[in-house]
């Protein structure tokens, strides 16, 4: 079946990008919701451990749609991996492959490098810095910035909000600094 | 803190830096005033499933794609985000132009984002984390779904980061 084969291939940007963009009007039309994912992390804090911190003392149940949405993202990831996964390893740029090889990253069977992100790497210094440290920065930074790639770069820019443009530029600047200047040292750990 | 300073703080209108949750009187991600029963949220679950499948199939959740983006080795991520924004801009413009209502009959409202320094400092910190983990919050959930169970640890750490931000935010520049 041609269609199923096509589905299994990695989807090009000009298919995926517009569909991601359509999430914005979809959520607005479904129920007046502004697209944003990192808020879900805050709702989890508010639901599980508010600890009388004002930032977490609000009625998170009113925002529960956001938790349904991220639950869906998780399940969607499962469905895609289970039923329409690409049979081939991830294609990567030869320069990146050559560079990563020096750090012992040679396994491209997964979308995340299992040479770094795995249970037995968790208690190495590199694993700790990348999984725990990286995750912490994502959670702290997105909340400090008031949004992530979805809330600022996609939803905010769609609504032509200049503070979201500032945030997006800073996301990219941080990423460039880390990937090019800092990560080479972290990967050596 | 001296009583004088405390008095001064009280007399100044508190600057609300929380632009997201209506319970704190300003911008929120949920503009709907309606209080809907829990089961009505199934449609957001479906929307999330669709979004999750796209994230996986377009390899946006790939750590390698994110590295290529920040090393300018591939156009893919720029194409995805760029075309998503173009489609988003056109959609929001159409919704405003035709004053469309949501399926629940509400007028669609999108709050403006207000600038504060957090977008710079927090943005930079998130950028650093994004390049390490190769994932922003959405892809973290999708990665776990694909079977990368260890990313649960990264997600828990992100939740801890959010919690610590809530704890110290009064002391951070905004």
Chain B interface mutation, best of A11, A25, A32, highest count of B Cβ atoms under 10 Å = A32
What's the rounded Cα separation, in Å, for the pair A134 and A165?
23
Q: Which one of B54, B92, B166 has the shortest CB-CB distance to A45?
A: B166
Q: Say whether residue A142 is in contact with chain B using an 8 A CB cutoff.
A: yes
Tokens of B64: 């390698």
Interface A:B, Cβ pairs < 8 A: 542
Residue-wise DSSP of B69-131: HHTT--SHHHHHHHHHHHHHHHHHHHHHHTT-B-TTSPBP--PPPPP-THHHHHHHHHHHHHH
- Tens digits of per-residue pLDDT, A102-146? 999 999 989 999 999 999 999 999 999 999 999 999 999 999 999
pLDDT at B109: 87
**B-chain residues near A173 (CB < 8 A):** 123-124, 127
Asked if the model's pLDDT at residue B18 lies above 90, the reply is no
* Average pLDDT over chain A, rounded to an integer: 94
Ramachandran angles phi, psi of B101, nearest 5°:
-105, 160
Asked if the model's pLDDT at residue A15 lies above 80, the reply is yes
Nearest CA in chain A to B112: A161
What's the rounded Cα separation, in Å, for the pair A5 and B134?
27
Positive or negative: CA dihedral A81, A84, A88, A90: negative
State the ipTM, two decimals: 0.95
Please judge whether A62 and B30 are an interchain contact, meaning their C-beta atoms are less than 8 angstroms apart: yes
Please judge whether A141 and B161 are an interchain contact, meaning their C-beta atoms are less than 8 angstroms apart: yes
What's the rounded Cα separation, in Å, for the pair A88 and B93?
40
For residue B85, what are the contacts with CB-CB under 8 A and spacing of at least 6? A21, A153, A154, A157, A158
Chain A interface mutation, best of B35, B97, B131, B174, highest count of A Cβ atoms under 10 Å = B131
- Tens digits of per-residue pLDDT, B58-96? 999 999 999 999 999 999 999 999 999 999 999 999 999
A63 conformational bin, left if phi > 0, alpha if psi -120 to 50, beta if neither: alpha
pLDDT at A156: 95
Ramachandran angles phi, psi of A33, nearest 5°:
-105, 135
Confidence of residue A65 (pLDDT cuts 50, 70, 90): very high
pLDDT at B111: 86
> In angstroms, what separates the C-alpha of A166 from chain B's closest C-alpha?
7
Please judge whether A146 and B86 are an interchain contact, meaning their C-beta atoms are less than 8 angstroms apart: no
What's the rounded Cα separation, in Å, for the pair A41 and A115?
27
Confidence of residue B30 (pLDDT cuts 50, 70, 90): low
Tokens of A67: 């938790």
pLDDT at B11: 46
pLDDT at B155: 98
Residue-wise DSSP of A75-105: HHHHHHHHHS--SSPPP--HHHHHHHHTTT-
DSSP letter at A176?
A: H
- CB atoms under 10 Å from CB of A189, counted, come to 12
**A-chain residues near B36 (CB < 8 A):** 31
- Tens digits of per-residue pLDDT, B96-134? 999 999 998 999 989 888 899 999 999 999 999 999 999
pLDDT at B31: 57
DSSP letter at B39?
A: G
Confidence of residue B135 (pLDDT cuts 50, 70, 90): very high
Q: Say whether residue A129 is in contact with chain B using an 8 A CB cutoff.
A: yes
Please judge whether B142 and A77 are an interchain contact, meaning their C-beta atoms are less than 8 angstroms apart: yes
Confidence of residue B35 (pLDDT cuts 50, 70, 90): confident
Q: Which one of B22, B75, B146 has the shortest CB-CB distance to A81?
A: B146
Chain B interface mutation, best of A36, A56, A111, highest count of B Cβ atoms under 10 Å = A111
pLDDT at A87: 84
Nearest CA in chain A to B108: A32
Q: Is A133 helix (H, G, I), strand (E, B) or coil?
A: helix
Please judge whether A90 and B113 are an interchain contact, meaning their C-beta atoms are less than 8 angstroms apart: no
């Amino acid at each position: 079946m041609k269609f199923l084969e096509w589905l299994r291939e990695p989807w090009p940007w000009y298919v995926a990008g517009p569909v991601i963009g359509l999430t914005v009007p979809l959520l607005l039309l479904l129920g007046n919701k502004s697209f944003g994912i990192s808020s879900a992390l805050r709702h989890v804090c508010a639901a599980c451990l508010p600890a009388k911190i004002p930032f977490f003392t609000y009625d998170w149940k009113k925002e529960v749609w956001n938790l349904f949405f991220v639950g869906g993202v998780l399940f969607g990831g499962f469905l895609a991996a289970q039923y329409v996964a690409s049979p081939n390893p991830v294609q990567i740029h030869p320069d990146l492959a050559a560079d990563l090889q020096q750090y012992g990253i040679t396994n491209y069977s997964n979308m995340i490098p299992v040479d770094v992100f795995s249970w037995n790497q968790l208690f190495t210094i590199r694993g700790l810095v990348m999984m725990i440290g990286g995750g912490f920065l994502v959670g702290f930074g997105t909340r400090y910035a008031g949004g992530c790639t979805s809330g600022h770069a996609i939803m905010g820019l769609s609504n032509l909000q200049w503070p979201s443009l500032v945030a997006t530029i800073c996301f990219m600047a941080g990423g460039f600094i880390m990937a090019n200047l800092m990560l080479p040292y972290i990967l050596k750990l | 803190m001296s009583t004088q300073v405390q008095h001064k703080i009280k007399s100044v209108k508190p600057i609300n830096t929380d632009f997201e949750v209506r319970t704190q009187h300003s911008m929120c991600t949920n503009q709907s005033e309606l209080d809907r029963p829990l089961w009505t949220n199934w449609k957001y679950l479906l929307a999330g499933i669709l979004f999750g499948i796209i994230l996986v199939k377009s390899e946006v959740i790939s750590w390698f794609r994110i590295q290529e983006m920040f090393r300018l080795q591939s156009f893919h991520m720029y194409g995805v985000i760029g075309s998503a924004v173009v489609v988003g801009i056109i959609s929001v413009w159409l919704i405003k132009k035709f004053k469309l209502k949501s399926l629940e009959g509400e007028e669609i409202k999108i709050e403006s984002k207000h600038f504060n320094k957090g977008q710079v400092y927090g943005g930079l910190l998130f950028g650093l984390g994004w390049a390490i983990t190769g994932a922003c919050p959405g892809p973290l959930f999708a990665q776990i779904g694909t079977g990368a169970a260890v990313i649960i640890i990264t997600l828990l750490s992100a939740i801890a980061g959010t919690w610590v931000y809530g704890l110290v935010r009064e002391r951070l520049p905004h």
